[in-house]
């Protein structure tokens, strides 16, 4: 299971929100590059970079941060937040993203999302399926759609998606543990799903628990910034996950 630290950007700074609420933004670093390099120094190979300004304004904003991290580290960066047009996507890939995550667009303009999938391939386009009470949320989680989570994911897997990031918004940034039961349910219901868990990771023990239910990756954010999980522990887990297995 891949360990994927998250860097969320507002105004070029590294922040975290609680439950997606912009009014709870807390700045953890003025310099995202320094943060990314410290991840890389501890054996991390992948990064989840979220343009929160972009998510709010519905077009890519912080692509210069993406470009800086992509050129100054070897991290494989998955970039999301506000990607709504072919032009946004072009800017993201030209700025160094290895993958992009499409969330709201997959609800509001399925045709656009599917055209990206067919143009770039399923290894480049990740479906962002973020949910409140198993209903998909959009627009930087500021709105809830009527789309039920599991049928939504299931249909996109049939359409050719392979990787899905699922955040249970009620857990995000709360440091109360991830939605293990929800991920178990999703993996049982949707064959072929490569599931990346996101939201709620609070301690090192959450990582083997997510691996045990079959998650392909896990995004870790606030737990790192609040020192609930140290980068040393993450380095040790990456080197020998078996030592932590349930």
User: Rounded CA gap, 130 and 137, in Å?
Assistant: 6
Q: Is 39 helix (H, G, I), strand (E, B) or coil?
A: helix
Clarify whether 159 is annotated catalytic. Answer: no
**Which of the four pLDDT bands, split at 50, 70 and 90, describes residue 139?**
low
Clarify whether 130 is annotated catalytic. Answer: yes
CATH fold of 2-244 reads TIM Barrel (3.20.20)
Given the residues 8, 88, 168, 172, select the one marked as catalytic.
Answer: 8
What DSSP string runs through 72-119?
A: HS--EEEEESS--SHHHHHHHHHTT-SEEEESHHHHH-HHHHHHHHHH
Across 64-79, average pLDDT = 98
Domain ranges of the chain: 2-244
Given the residues 78, 130, 168, 172, select the one marked as catalytic.
Answer: 130
Across 152-164, average pLDDT = 97
**Which of the four pLDDT bands, split at 50, 70 and 90, describes residue 25?**
very high
């Amino acid at each position: 299971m891949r360990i994927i630290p998250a860097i969320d950007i507002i105004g070029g700074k590294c922040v975290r929100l609680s439950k997606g609420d912009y009014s709870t933004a807390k700045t953890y670093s003025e310099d995202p590059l320094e943060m990314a390099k410290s991840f890389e120094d501890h054996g991390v190979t992948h990064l989840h970079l979220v343009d929160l300004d972009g998510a709010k304004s519905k077009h890519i904003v912080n692509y210069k941060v993406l470009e800086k991290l992509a050129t100054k580290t070897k991290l494989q960066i998955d970039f999301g937040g506000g990607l709504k047009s072919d032009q946004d996507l072009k800017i993201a890939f030209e700025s160094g993203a290895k993958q992009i995550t499409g969330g709201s667009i997959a609800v509001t303009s399925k045709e656009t999302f599917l055209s990206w999938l067919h143009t770039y391939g399923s290894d480049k386009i990740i479906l962002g399926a973020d949910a409140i009470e198993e209903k998909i949320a959009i627009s930087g989680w500021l709105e809830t759609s009527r789309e039920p989570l599991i049928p939504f994911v299931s249909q996109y897997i049939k359409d050719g998606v392979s990787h899905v990031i699922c955040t249970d918004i009620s857990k995000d940034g709360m440091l109360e543990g991830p939605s293990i039961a929800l991920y178990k349910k999703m993996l049982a219901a949707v064959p072929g799903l490569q599931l990346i868990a996101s939201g709620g990771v609070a301690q090192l023990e959450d990582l083997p628990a997510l691996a045990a239910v079959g998650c392909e990756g896990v995004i870790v954010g606030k737990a790192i910034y609040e020192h609930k999980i140290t980068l040393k522990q993450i380095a040790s887990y990456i080197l020998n996950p078996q030592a932590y297995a349930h």
